[in-house]
Structure 1
Amino acid sequence: MMTVFGYVRVSSSDQNEGRQLEKMNAKGVAARNLFVDKASGKDFDRPEYKVLRRALQEGDLVYIDALDRLGRNYDEVISEWKYITRELGADIVVLENEALFDSRKFRDMGDMGKLMEDQFLSLLAYVADQERKKIRQRQREGIALAKQQGKHLGRPVEELTDEQRKTWREVYPRWKDGQVKAVEFMRLLDVKKTKFYRLVKEYEAEKQSTK
């Protein structure tokens, strides 16, 4: 019996996944079959995606909003798509391009369908990968400009007290792993929501620029 799943991804914890969830609800995806990650699309090392991958079986169907919600790494997106549709025998439908990206249609076309699927997938995955690279470049340029202007983005947590910085170092990794909720992290730091997400954004931007 086919199970219908939905996969939703936003890049960071302060982005809203509501629009994607509405689309999944419209498709009749049950809440228990919805998997939501708040993580970068640079690779597939995401907790909810891993659970979805283990749950998928032959004949199942996965809805995603757009191809870049699956991922932004050109080679890995293609590899993952083929693993799900060809090795597992499950199907993927990309809601943003539903008329074009429905693996069931390609499957029905046999070998010609595989050829067409490979061509379309390569094109869109390449676009997604290029967009990810542009985002990283804009981040690096923005950080470089801020430093030239004397803004200390490299030390966003320095404005915290010694006790708050200690809490940040201890709790931040657990929060990123989903072990601690954001509201609890804010309470432990004793900061407001706006300040919390500003610190997170600056801290993560600096970490990304040093990679």
Structure 2
Amino acid sequence: MTETKTFGYVRVSTKEQNADRQTVEMKKLKINERDIFIDKASGKDFDRPQYQALKAQLRKGDLVYISSLDRLGRNSDAIKKEWEEITREIGADMVVLDMPLLDTRKYKDTMGNFVANLVLQVLTFMAQSEREKILARQKEGIAVAKAQGKHLGRPQLNLNTLTKQQRADLEANYTTWKAKEITSVQFMEILGLKKNSFYKIISEYEESK
């Protein structure tokens, strides 16, 4: 008989957001760190590398924890489709920590399934509605900014706009990189920078030394 496994899924919307709170929740459940899958990506769809890796590992009888339904996704139809695939086609269980009714281990009878499905419908609708509100506010903000003649787009990345963590990682790894003990690609990954931004920041840093 194949041993069942317990997994945790964590998602934050951007690389700048911290996933620690959700990860700590998973560790409190005694989930092995290697079985916690973390995506830093939008919840608009499920084209996320860690989510897809988790799904590929799931087998009948396995268990997946998520902290809240909006961490799974923001698109109502897509959430319901993924939920159905995991719980019915694969046969794994799902638990939403902040919504006890969304625990497929508890509700196996007809009435239980009806209640859980109703809650899922409501929450997925709310998750999508929240996303649509956010997008609408963003569009309104862009329209106002354009009307006022303000510059739009990302602020110019430079040494002064690095986060405290990026600055600390830069200073901690610069000498190692110069000694060729780590590659430029590895250094870029540590800093979370793309090639052009990386060399621009390095040039500014060297000039400031």
Scaled by the length of structure 2, what TM-score is found? 0.75
Paired residue for 1:183? 191
Q: Which runs of 5+ in 2 are unaligned?
A: 159-187, 203-209
- Alignment CA distance shift 1:138-1:41 (3 Å): same
Paired residue for 1:43? 45
- Alignment CA distance shift 1:132-1:184 (3 Å): closer
Paired residue for 2:69? 67
Paired residue for 2:20? 18
Paired residue for 2:124? 125
Number of matched residues? Answer: 169
Q: How many percent of aligned residue pairs carry the same amino acid?
A: 49
- Alignment CA distance shift 1:120-1:148 (3 Å): same
After the TM superposition, which residues 150-189 of structure 1 pair with which residues of structure 2 at under 5 Å, given as runs?
A: 150-154=149-153, 156=154, 181=189, 183=191, 185=193, 187-189=198-200
Q: 1:87 aligns with which of 61, 67, 89?
A: 89
* Equivalent residue letter for 2:148: Q
Q: Which runs of 5+ in 1 are unaligned?
A: 162-179, 192-211
Moved segments of 4+, more than 4 Å: none
Max Rg structure = 2
Distance 1:78 1:7 in 2: 16
Distance 1:117 1:88 in 2: 18
* Equivalent residue letter for 1:92: M
Deviations 1:136-166 (A, max 9, x none): 1111111112222222114x47x579xxxxx
Distance 1:145 1:129 in 2: 24
- Is 1:100–2:104 an aligned residue pair? no
Equivalent residue of 1:75, what SS?
Answer: helix
What is the RMSD of the two structures over their aligned residues, measured on CA atoms?
Answer: 2.1
Structure number having the greater helix percentage: 1
Scaled by the length of structure 1, what TM-score is found? 0.74
